[in-house]
Structure 1
Amino acid sequence: MGIGGKGEPRYVGIGEAIATKLASYGANIVLGYTSASSKPNAEALAKDLESRHNVKTLPVQADLGTVEGPESLIEAVKSSKALLKPDGSFQIDILVNNAGVAQNNLLPAVTVAQFDASYRVNVLGPLLLTQAAEPYLPRDRSGRIVNLSSVSSSCGFIGQSVYGGTKAALEAMTRTWARELSERCTVNAINPGPVLTEMYAGNTPQFKREIKGWIEHSPLMRVRPGIDSQELIDDAPISGGRPAYVSEIAGIVAMLVGEDAAWCTGQVVCANGGMLMLH
C-alpha cells in the first residue's frame, strides 16, 4: 500500500503484485487492464518492470467481462509481435486468470444484473481467455495456468451467494482443465482470504464483523508488532488480525509457475494463511 493522490492510500492490486513478482524472475509480462482510465498506470508499471528487470512488457486493454474481450487480448498480444520467440513463433508459457469482481448482497436483494456481471467476469472471462490461449500453450507439459479463486468458494460467507458461487465454478473448471490440458500445462487455483487491496478496504463493517472469527483463528493472520504496520496492529482488535499482503499471494503464484511445480495440477492451493484448511 502506498499513498495516492490527495493523501489517500493507493492499494497495490494482486495482479500488479503478480506481474512484478514474475518479472523479477525474468518473465516477459502482458498487463491486461479493463478501462481507459487504467492505461497510464499500466504503462507506468510496464516501463518500471522493463527498467528494473530487463524484461519485455505489453499493456493491453480488454474487457474480460465481454464475450469479445478475452480473444481480443490474445490477438492483440500476438499481432503486436512484441513478445514473439526468437524464431518468430508465439507461445504462452504462463496464464494467470486474475480479473474478478465482488458484489456482495444478502439473498433477498441479489439482482440478476449482479449475477450476470459477476459470472461474466469471474467465470466466463477465465473460460474464454483460457480457450483463446489454448492454441498457443506449450506442447511439452511446461505451461502453467493459475486461476485466482477465493476462500469464499468454501466458507459460505453471508452476502456472497453470487461471488462464492463464481469462485466455486472456477475451481471446478480448474480440475477439468487440468485433465484436458495435461499434455500442455499444469492448471491450479489459489484461494486467498482477505488481502490488503482496495477491494478488501471497500468491504462493509457488517461483512468484516462476519469474517472476524475466521481471521482470529487463522494462524498466520496474527499481527506482529515491529513487522506489520501500526495501522494493521491498531485495527486487529476490530478485524481479528491482518489481511495478506499482495506480495504473499504473488509468491504462491510464482511457486506454482516454476519448473519445480511440474508434478502439481488440478489443485486449489492455500493462499490464505491457514484461514481455510480442507482436503
Structure 2
Amino acid sequence: MSKPFQGKVAIITGASRGLGAGIARHFAAKGADLVINYTSDNSTAAAKELVSELESKHKVKAVTAQCDITTADGPQQLIDIAKSHFTKGGKFQIDILINNAGIVNPAPMGSVTLDEFNKTFELNARAPLFVVQAAIPYLPNDRSGRIINVSSITTSMGFWWQSCYAGTKGALEAMTRVWARELGERATVNSINPGAMMTGMYSGLPQEMLEKVWSLNYMAPLAKPREGIDSPETVEAAKGLGGRPAYLEEVAGIIALLSMPEAGWITGQVIGSNGGGVMTKG
C-alpha cells in the first residue's frame, strides 16, 4: 500500500472514537504519525487502545493528548504535547491538522438554551480557531501544510433543530475562508460537510427528528443501500434513515485527498462529503 504521509505529523481533535478514530486509522494506513486528542477520562481507554492498534498494525508513532481544547490553555496544551513527542533534530512541524471535535445539541426553536448554544459554539467554532492559532508557529513555510475542518451538511440544508449545530459549523466554514487567505503561504485550509455516518450519531435522537433526517438521506444519490455490497448493518440502518449512512473510511478518504500534495491548489473550499445530499457550486 502506498504511504503518501510517511514521516508526516497529523493532529486530530476528538479522535478517540467515531469519525475521529476512523480518520486516524485511515491516515495511519498511509504512514502518518498521529496525535490523538480527546477530553474526557471516559475516553482514555479507547484512545490508548486506538494508539496501540495503530502502532502495531501500521508501524507508525501515535500518541494520546488528553486536553480540553475549549479551555483557555487547552489548544496550547495540545500543541505542546505534540511538540514533546515529535521534535526531531530540534525541529517540530505540524504537517496536517484536522479539526474534527464537535457536538450537536439539537433543540427546536423555543427550546434552545444559552448554555447549550455556548457549549456548542465553544467546541465547534471557538476551539478550532485557537487550535489553529496555537499551531501557526509550527506550520510549514512552503504551502505544504494541510488544515481540514469537519463541518456538516446541516449548514446548507436549513435543517430542523440545528440552530446550535448548523450555526456554529457555519461559523467554522466562514473562518475556513479567512484562514485560507491569512495562512496561504503556510497551508491550504478547507472544510468538508458530511451527513449521516456509521457512528451511531442518531441513536439518541427523538423519533420526530429521525423522521426529518429520512428526507435528507433520501435525496442523496449515493445513499441507496446495495444488497450484497453494503454490510447487513448498513442496509438495516438505511431503513429508518432514508438511505445508508457513510462509512467512516469514505469520509476519512476525502480528508486524505485534501491532505495530499496534489491537493495544493484547493483552499478556502467546503468540499461535498455527503453522497450528493448537498451539491455545492465550487
TM-score scaled by length of structure 1: 0.92
Could you tell me the percent identity over the aligned residues? Answer: 48
Distance 1:67 1:277 in 2: 37
**Are 1:71 and 1:132, in contact at CA under 8 Å, matched by a contact in 2?**
yes
User: Which whole-Å CA distance do the structure 2 matches of 1:50 and 1:266 have between them?
Assistant: 33
Q: Which amino acid aligns with 1:84?
A: T
1:5 corresponds in structure 2 to none
Contact 2:202–2:210, Cα closer than 8 Å, also in 1: no
Q: How many residues of Structure 1 are paired with residues of Structure 2 in the alignment?
A: 266
| Aligned position for 2:13 | none
Residues 206-251 of structure 1, C-alpha deviations (whole Å, 9 max, x = no match):
1111121221121110000012232432443432111111111100
Residue 107 of structure 1 aligns to a residue in which SS?
A: coil
**Structure 1 partner of 2:57:** 52
CA distance in 2, matches of 1:50, 1:134: 27
Structure 1 unpaired stretches of 5+: 1-10
Measure how far apart 1:53 and its partner are. Answer: 1.2
CA distance in 1, matches of 2:200, 2:130: 26
- Residue number in structure 2 paired with 1:22: 27
Residue 83, structure 1, aligned to residue 86, structure 2 = yes
Q: Is the 8 A contact 2:237 2:245 kept in 1?
A: no
The C-alpha deviation readout for 1:141-194, integer Å capped at 9, x for no partner, is 000000000011111111001110011000000000000000000000000001
Is the Cα contact below 8 Å between 2:143 and 2:188 reproduced in 1? yes
Q: Which runs of 5+ in 2 are unaligned?
A: 1-15
**1:51: how far off?**
1.3
> Is 2:247 the counterpart of 1:242?
no
2:164 is equivalent to residue 162 of structure 1: yes
Q: Residues 99 and 128 of structure 2 are in contact (CA less than 8 Å); yes or no, is this contact kept in structure 1?
A: yes
Q: Contact between 1:46 and 1:58, CA under 8 Å: does it hold in 2? A: yes
Task: Give me the CA root mean square deviation.
Answer: 1.4
Match of 1:190 in 2: 192
Deviation (angstroms), 1:41: 1.2
In the alignment, the residues of structure 1 paired with residue 150 and residue 237 of structure 2 have an alpha-carbon distance, to the nearest angstrom, of 26
Instruction: Give, in whole Å, the separation in 2 of the partners of 1:278 and 1:211.
Output: 19
Question: What is the deviation of 1:266?
Answer: 0.5
* 1:95 aligned counterpart, secondary structure: strand
- 2:190 partner SS: strand
d(CA) in 2 for partners of 1:30, 1:236: 33
TM-score, with length taken from structure 2 = 0.91
Amino acid at match of 2:86: L
State the match for 1:3 in structure 2: none
